[in-house]
Amino acid sequence: MILALTSCEKEEELTDNQKINHIVYDLMENWYLWYEHLPDEDTADYLLDPNSFISSIRYDKYDRWSHLMPETEYKAYFEEGEMAGHGISLGADNDGNIRIYFIYPTTSAYEKGVRRGWIINKVNGIKATAENVIDLLGERSTGLTNNIEFTTNNNENLSLSLTKEIISINPVLHEEVIMRDNIKIGYMVFQDFIDSGTSIIDNTFNKFFTENIDELIIDLRYNGGGNVDVALHISGWIAGNFANNTLINFIHNDMNSRRNREFLIPENSNSLQLERIIFITTGETASASELLINGMTPFKEVVLVGSTTHGKPVGMYPFSMKDYDWVVMPVSFEYTNANNEGGFYDGIPVNIPAADDPTKPFGNPEESCLKTALEYLTSGTVTGMSYKSTKQNELLVDARPLSSFYKAH
């Protein structure tokens, strides 16, 4: 991107925020899917910080997502597969307990035994609540140490000293082959559509291929999306004989219609030959996750278990700034599948409702979403769930834009 100023003011009279915001506005005039709904330039408040500015000019009828993020963070997560923190994701249950919703297995916290379902009682001696726990844990920076008092899944109280670190993200939080009524069921919990994760994805699907699974459950309950190329890569593993068919179409505004294109399912000689795929979803399931679900619908029986997805049938391109550490990510296209189906701004509804139950670890056959999926695969019916439900889709994230993609601290 080349710095372009549309103001009649001299460049040297502008603040950095004003300069950045002029770049953002000029960019969105060309690339924004709903550019015709931008406010008049002379009514925009260029004194705002950049993310407040882009929020103030985006088309609120549909757009909840256009934002900026530091380029250093963008590259670390999407290209290098790294983050700074403890590597834990938090949520609040119906009793107000702060629970671990997931934890990356490549962290020192995981090595010390921290698991999904644990309760955080105190951080550095202060009682943890939904309102304060993110602040108590502090910035996403290495070397910051927190003393955390937990209650484990065995109802034991445990205090641990955890130091934030650079984490190499493993996007597959859990994978196994489950035997149920002589049916081999591949189950994977997939969290991050990042470039560096493809080898881990391949290891998981190679295992499923070698085991000759009969059914597949892909758990996307907290997956906020990411790189479309990774979604394409996964589609090659699960499409069977439908390689070289259209997975998705990108549709741009009328100024960029020459960029409209279709993305084909790649060939994969080890692609799983399955008639159906089960996806576990929640309101946190978004973007590339929904793209994969929507893209597979014309070719497979796709069954959703859990709760309605987030509803993001659009995508963004990352635009770097020459002189500033920002990446601008405006909504730049909408997408449809091979049947030209899209537009699900209210989310993709589930076939079988089930409440997320973070009190139980991934893979526990009594965890409500997995239990529901397994019952459906083995019997074709689902009995009533008898468990204490927890709030769904209540992950606690900070205000930083990258939190929409990864949700760990």
| 42-71 pLDDT, tens digit each | 898 999 999 999 999 999 999 999 999 999
In the chain, CATH 2.30.42.10 covers 82-168
Point out the residues of the chain with pLDDT beneath 70: 1-12, 383-394, 398-404, 406
Q: Tell me which amino acid residue 345 is.
A: Y
Return the H-helix or E-strand segment holding 179.
Answer: strand 172-180
What stretch of H or E contains 151? strand 145-151
Q: 204 near 188, Cβ under 8 Å? A: yes
pLDDT of residue 406: 65
Q: Where are the beta strands (DSSP E) in 73-125?
A: 82-85, 88-92, 98-103, 119-123
Nearest to 17 by CA among 47, 43, 42, 39: 47
Least Cα distance to 218 among 247, 239, 199, 245 occurs for: 239
pLDDT, residue 384, reads 55
The pLDDT assigned to 380 comes to: 85
Alpha-carbon distance values, 220 to 34, 217, 264, 381 (Å): 29, 9, 22, 22
Q: In the structure, how many helices (H) and strands (E) does the chain have? A: 9, 22
Strands of the sheet containing 331-336, edge to edge, are: 261-264, 246-251, 331-336, 314-316
Tens of pLDDT, residues 313-367: 999 999 999 999 999 999 999 999 999 999 999 999 999 999 999 999 999 999 9
Looking only at the bridges linking them, the beta strands covering 88-92 and 352-353 are: unpaired
- Residue 24 has a CB neighbour count (10 Å cut-off) of 25
Within the chain, all domains assigned CATH 3.90.226.10 are found at: 172-404
For 238, list phi and psi in degrees, rounded to 5.
-115, 0
Helices (H), 219-287: 228-238
pLDDT confidence of residue 5:
40
Record: fold of 82-168: Pdz3 Domain (2.30.42)
The pTM is what? Answer: 0.92
Identify the CATH homologous superfamily for domain 172-404.
Answer: 2-enoyl-CoA Hydratase; Chain A, domain 1 (3.90.226.10)
What stretches of 181-325 adopt beta strand conformation (E)? 183-190, 215-219, 246-251, 261-264, 276-281, 301-306, 314-316, 319-320
